[in-house]
Structure 1
Amino acid sequence: MRMIIKTAAIVGAFNLAAATAALGSDVKPTIVLVHGAFAESASWNGVVADLTRDGFSVIAAANPLRSVGGDAAHVASVVSSVKGPVVLVGHSYAGAVISAMADQEANVKALVYVAAFEPDVGESSLELTGKFPGSTLGPALAAPVNLPNGEQDLYIQQDKFPAQFAADVPEADARLMAAAQRPVNQAALADRAVRAAWKTIPSWSIYGAADRNIPPAAMAFMADRAHARKTVVVPGASHLVMVSHPQEVAALIEDAANAK
């Protein structure tokens, strides 16, 4: 009798595990959003609103903007805390960050690059910015801020921020973002990639046709090289395409989340 009861319990547990696995296959992935240089987590607010309305769990992670390797380790710790599949989304410099760690996290099912760098091994964000003409970021930068450790932080001049970074965002909002911008360590932009997760993880890409930070030609090149499942170019959109066109960005993220 004891053996029969034990066997029945094992069978019951197996059936429960199978049912749980079946349900788990339909669970929506968590969306982890990573901001880039000169932005911060609130830049995703419109995208978060759309995604949560459609039933997705969302984390807008804080990106330290100190170095590609260090920032990648920080984002990896966020991703590894998620129980279940993840769609990892990076804006601008954060594209380099997610490319550096995503293939080391087994639960990352898709990458979405939002006006973002997709460096190959050995490439830097700075190098990719200059690969094609069109960026006007250099003259818009403020004088570097010297840090106690001898490194330097970069900001965009506040009066130039709206036109340079957020030309299609209402000016009042752009000026608030200029004041709240988070600096990037100058050395981080020159960090050369040691991994390229887009080579093994499916990717999607969206960017604005009027981006003044990363030339649209550079982003087209990177998306094509990564064999993006889908590339969306938003006419007239600035570098802050997720602020000015949150619905289009959220729709592409959901496309990646629902892909089989």
Structure 2
Amino acid sequence: MTTTPTIVLVHGAFADAASWAPVTALLLEQGYDVRVPPVYNRSLAADAASIRAVVEQVEGPVLLAGHSYGGAVITVAGAAENVVGLVYVSGYALDEGESLGQLQGGFPDSELAANLVYTPFPVEGGEPGTDVSVAIDAFPAVFAAGVPEQTARVLAVSQRPLTAFAFGEPASVAAWKQKPGWGIVSSADHTINPEVERFGYTRAGLRSVVELDAPHLVMQTHPAEVAAVITGAIAELAGGPEESAA
């Protein structure tokens, strides 16, 4: 069984696994074992269960890193026995019994709130659900600031919505109460109020928090810095200086 954790990168709402691509490439180049599974954005409980299933199929320890809504997902999925640490990247560090809406509600709205679009989707055997996405015209500035314009335009028309139900769904567990954590605050974030990130990280007692003058998609704009926080967490868990996994 390997002792170097497998890194599982968890994307957030309005994005997909490709949002982690620059960081994924750097980690693979350094010799780390990486997984970037899809998050289906159907409910916090279902999404966390899906990620937990991926984690539990990994032989050996796992370090979970979650961006944005992915932070809420790893807060719950991180209760898996083989998860050894959590890295929050511009993410939500929910408490047990707390929802995204409750955590956000304690702070002024970001620019995202005024630029959300609500679209019904069919639910077999039940009432239609509601998907939440970002207005396409607003997406580049609100969600993808700092990303090249052409890339931002592509991301805007290929976003993965989050069901409205997930915003009010409480976290069943807060894994940070048992697992060590690290955080990145994007101080130029227009999607999540940076104060939401700071508050959640402080409450969770994360081992260290890095502030970057970066937008929400910090993995795209500052991949080296994000990768360094992840590999630094692995080095700290190992109790030694940071080294490549190769």
TM-score by length of 2: 0.92
What is the CA deviation profile of residues 185-204 of structure 1, one whole-angstrom value per residue up to 9, with x for unaligned ones? 01111111121001110000
Root-mean-square deviation (Å): 1.2
1:118 counterpart = 2:93: yes
Alpha-carbon distance in 1 for matches of 2:139, 2:105: 20
What is the CA deviation profile of residues 227-248 of structure 1, one whole-angstrom value per residue up to 9, with x for unaligned ones? 111101111x111111111111
Q: What fraction of aligned residue pairs are identical, expressed as a percent?
A: 45
Q: Is the 8 A contact 1:207 1:241 kept in 2?
A: no
Cα deviation for residue 163 of structure 1 reads 0.5
1:147 counterpart = 2:103: no
1:43 is matched with which residue?
19
What amino acid does structure 2 have at the position aligned with 1:222?
Answer: G
Cα deviation for residue 161 of structure 1 reads 0.3
What amino acid does structure 1 have at the position aligned with 2:105?
Answer: G
What pairs up with 1:35-114 in 2 under 5 angstroms? 35-103=11-79, 105-114=80-89
Alpha-carbon distance in 2 for matches of 1:94, 1:171: 24
2:240 is matched with which residue?
none
Structure with max Cα Rg: 1
Runs (5+) with no aligned partner, structure 2: 238-246
What is the CA deviation profile of residues 39-76 of structure 1, one whole-angstrom value per residue up to 9, with x for unaligned ones? 10000000001111111011111001010111111001
Q: Is the 8 A contact 1:134 1:212 kept in 2?
A: no
Alpha-carbon distance in 2 for matches of 1:205, 1:40: 20
What amino acid does structure 2 have at the position aligned with 1:51?
Answer: L
1:219 is matched with which residue?
197
TM-score by length of 1: 0.87
Alpha-carbon distance in 1 for matches of 2:83, 2:143: 29
2:218 is matched with which residue?
241
2:145 is matched with which residue?
167
Alpha-carbon distance in 1 for matches of 2:139, 2:192: 15
Q: Is the 8 A contact 1:93 1:117 kept in 2?
A: yes
Q: Is the 8 A contact 1:152 1:186 kept in 2?
A: yes
Alpha-carbon distance in 2 for matches of 1:167, 1:122: 32
Q: Greater share of helix residues, 1 or 2?
A: 1
1:17 is matched with which residue?
none
Structure 1 residue corresponding to 2:111, chosen from 136, 144, 163: 136
1:200 counterpart = 2:178: yes
Cα deviation for residue 130 of structure 1 reads 2.5
